[in-house]
């Protein structure tokens, strides 16, 4: 019998994708090094160390009663709560299976072979993945001081550019572009290119900003029909495992996004938990305060150890350790998981998510011991 097996046929741009490197799960490290999972500290995925809000847990358990049915495909309750919170009509909101889904949906709606997307060096890895999955061209703009160089990003817009991503604050570097600069950039892009270039303003870490840095990005959505503001419940709202995020954009753009999203992209438990979390101001305040204190704790330790770090506006800090693979392995052996960021073009750095005080202390003690070996 002749062997009729043929190689898998896939578009070259799909075969070329380097998959997303997620933070190592606690159970995986426990298996690999024979460690007790209870003693492992994970500071690798910018999750909320407080655990999910109790209000969201209660709402989720109540919603579990109806899991034999499909979720509400239009997410009425959650959209209504978001519309009220952000003072926009409900048809300006798109829900996503995490904000990652929003980024993918934007790429699906707007990119194709022959089009391009602009984003910054050392920015969120999913911009590359979403662009590549559509067979579109990448225009990666060199970072300035580890952050977005908006002037260079404006200049980089090409005739075939349809999408431009800004992460604000940025992951993995933690940098932030102030509101007046974002507004001036959007004005410039819109004046030069009209609605041809859609800007995604990815604000996954927005709730961690100090009050003096916060600005009203939905006011910008009202002004610019080519703007998508993307937010998540995974970070400050503590719901990463449930996967829920959302976009705010004017109706014409929202309509396009809705055409390509999965009909039931946000599950029942996630919708119910997100409504509760959105109303839980006390939890959000606690998450902000705990993060601010943890950031100070980590930065003080880095100062003490004379390690360079990028001042962070998010729930993580990027620190320069030199031989990052060696330090990372030594941390893993001590049961501490952080995030190597060589794949983001930062081979000498580690990204450390901000944990509870005792988790931060475990990391600091381990790092101090490793550096003095
Ligand atoms: C900048 C940025 N945007 C979006 C996301 C996606 O998060 P999620 O899909 O959990 O909302 C992340 C996650 O780390 C992120 O760092």
> How many angstroms is it from 204 CA to the middle of ligand 1?
6
Q: Are residues 229 and 364 in the same domain?
A: no
> How many angstroms is it from 237 CA to the middle of ligand 1?
13
> How many angstroms is it from 373 CA to the middle of ligand 1?
35
Q: Centre a 10 Å sphere on the Cβ of residue 263 and count the other Cβ atoms it contains.
A: 9
Whether ligand 1 lies within 6 angstroms of the CB of 47 is answered as: no
Q: Are residues 197 and 276 in the same domain?
A: yes
Q: Are residues 79 and 173 in the same domain?
A: yes
Q: Which ligand 1 atom is nearest residue 167's CA?
A: 1
Whether ligand 1 lies within 6 angstroms of the CB of 46 is answered as: yes
Residue 98 — left, alpha, or beta (φ > 0 → left; ψ -120 to 50 → alpha)?
left
- Which of the listed residues 280, 304, 333 is the one where a domain comes to its end? 280
Q: Are residues 264 and 292 in the same domain?
A: no
Residue 7 within a domain: no
Place of tokens 């050392």: 122
Strands 93-96 and 116-120: unpaired
Strands 245-248 and 227-232: antiparallel
> How many angstroms is it from 34 CA to the middle of ligand 1?
30
Nearest to 298 by CA among 348, 247, 363: 363
> How many angstroms is it from 100 CA to the middle of ligand 1?
6
How far is the C-alpha of 24 from the C-alpha of 22, rounded, in Å? 6
How far is the C-alpha of 286 from the C-alpha of 269, rounded, in Å? 23
Residue 4 within a domain: no
Whether ligand 1 lies within 6 angstroms of the CB of 104 is answered as: no
Look at residue 1 in the predicted model and tell me its pLDDT: 54
Whether ligand 1 lies within 6 angstroms of the CB of 254 is answered as: no
Residue 97 — left, alpha, or beta (φ > 0 → left; ψ -120 to 50 → alpha)?
beta
pLDDT 10s digits, 53-111:
999 999 999 999 999 999 999 999 999 999 999 999 999 999 999 999 999 999 999 99
Residue 340 within a domain: yes
Look at residue 178 in the predicted model and tell me its pLDDT: 98
The whole domain housing 250 covers: 54-280
Look at residue 6 in the predicted model and tell me its pLDDT: 81
How far is the C-alpha of 275 from the C-alpha of 63, rounded, in Å? 12
How far is the C-alpha of 266 from the C-alpha of 70, rounded, in Å? 10
Q: Are residues 58 and 167 in the same domain?
A: yes
How far is the C-alpha of 93 from the C-alpha of 88, rounded, in Å? 8
Q: Centre a 10 Å sphere on the Cβ of residue 224 and count the other Cβ atoms it contains.
A: 21
CA dihedral 128, 129, 132, 136 (to 10 degrees): -60
Q: Which ligand 1 atom is nearest residue 123's CA?
A: 1
CB within 8 Å of 127: residues ≥ 6 apart: 103, 117, 119, 165, 167
Nearest to 362 by CA among 326, 332, 325: 332
E strands along 218-358, which residues? 227-232, 245-248, 309-310, 316-320, 336-337, 339-340, 349-353
Q: Which ligand 1 atom is nearest residue 97's CA?
A: 9
Q: Are residues 26 and 74 in the same domain?
A: no
Whether ligand 1 lies within 6 angstroms of the CB of 174 is answered as: no
CATH code of the domain in which 336 resides = 3.90.1150.10
- Which of the listed residues 232, 250, 280 is the one where a domain comes to its end? 280
Q: Which ligand 1 atom is nearest residue 45's CA?
A: 14
Look at residue 274 in the predicted model and tell me its pLDDT: 98
> How many angstroms is it from 102 CA to the middle of ligand 1?
10
Q: Are residues 194 and 168 in the same domain?
A: yes
Residue 3 within a domain: no
Q: Are residues 30 and 65 in the same domain?
A: no
Look at residue 16 in the predicted model and tell me its pLDDT: 86
Number of domains the chain is built from: 2
> How many angstroms is it from 211 CA to the middle of ligand 1?
21
CB within 8 Å of 172: residues ≥ 6 apart: 122, 124, 316, 318, 339, 341, 344, 346, 349, 351
Q: Which residues of the chain have pLDDT under 70?
A: 1-3
> How many angstroms is it from 281 CA to the middle of ligand 1?
21
Exposure class string for 127-153: b at 16+ Cβ within 10 A, else e: bbbbbbbbbbbebbbebeebbbbbeeb
Look at residue 5 in the predicted model and tell me its pLDDT: 80
Residue 177 within a domain: yes
Whether ligand 1 lies within 6 angstroms of the CB of 116 is answered as: no
Exposure class string for 7-21: b at 16+ Cβ within 10 A, else e: eeeeeeeeeeeeeee
Look at residue 3 in the predicted model and tell me its pLDDT: 65
How far is the C-alpha of 258 from the C-alpha of 253, rounded, in Å? 9
The phi, psi pair for 340, rounded to 5°, reads: -70, 145
- Which of the listed residues 259, 280, 301 is the one where a domain comes to its end? 280
Whether ligand 1 lies within 6 angstroms of the CB of 175 is answered as: no
Give every strand in the sheet of 339-340, ordered side by side.
309-310, 316-320, 349-353, 339-340
Look at residue 21 in the predicted model and tell me its pLDDT: 77
């Amino acid at each position: 019998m002749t062997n009729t097996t043929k190689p898998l046929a896939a578009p070259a741009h799909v075969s070329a994708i380097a998959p997303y490197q997620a933070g190592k799960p606690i159970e995986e490290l426990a298996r690999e090094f024979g460690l007790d999972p209870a003693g492992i500290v994970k500071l690798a995925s910018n999750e909320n160390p407080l655990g999910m809000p109790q209000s969201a847990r209660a709402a989720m358990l109540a919603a579990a009663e109806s899991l034999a049915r499909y979720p509400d495909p239009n997410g009425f309750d959650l959209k209504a709560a978001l519309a009220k919170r952000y003072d926009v009509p409900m048809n300006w909101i798109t829900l996503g299976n995490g904000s990652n889904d929003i980024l993918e949906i934007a790429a699906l709606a707007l990119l194709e072979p022959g089009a391009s997307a602009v984003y910054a060096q050392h920015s969120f890895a999913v911009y590359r993945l979403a662009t590549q999955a559509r067979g579109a061209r990448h225009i990666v703009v060199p970072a300035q001081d580890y952050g977005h160089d908006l002037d260079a990003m404006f200049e980089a817009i090409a005739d075939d550019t349809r999408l431009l991503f800004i992460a604000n604050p940025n992951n993995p570097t933690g940098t932030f572009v102030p509101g007046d600069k974002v507004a001036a950039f959007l004005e410039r892009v819109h004046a030069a290119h009209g609605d041809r270039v859609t800007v995604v303003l990815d604000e996954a870490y927005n709730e961690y900003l100090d009050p003096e840095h916060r600005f009203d990005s939905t006011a910008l959505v009202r002004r610019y029909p080519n703007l998508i503001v993307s937010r998540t419940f995974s970070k400050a709202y503590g719901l990463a495992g449930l996967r829920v995020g959302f976009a705010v954009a004017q109706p014409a753009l929202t309509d396009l996004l809705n055409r390509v999203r999965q009909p039931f992209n946000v599950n029942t438990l996630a919708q119910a938990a997100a409504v509760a979390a959105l109303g839980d101001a006390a939890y959000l305040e606690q998450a902000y305060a705990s993060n601010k204190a943890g950031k100070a704790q980590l930065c003080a330790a880095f100062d003490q150890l004379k390690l360079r770090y990028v001042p962070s506006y998010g729930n993580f800090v990027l620190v320069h350790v030199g031989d990052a693979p060696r330090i990372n392995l030594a941390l893993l052996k001590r049961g501490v998981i952080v995030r190597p960021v060589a794949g983001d073009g930062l081979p000498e750095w580690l990204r450390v998510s901000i944990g509870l005080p005792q988790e931060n202390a475990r990391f600091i003690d381990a790092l101090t011991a490793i550096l003095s070996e």
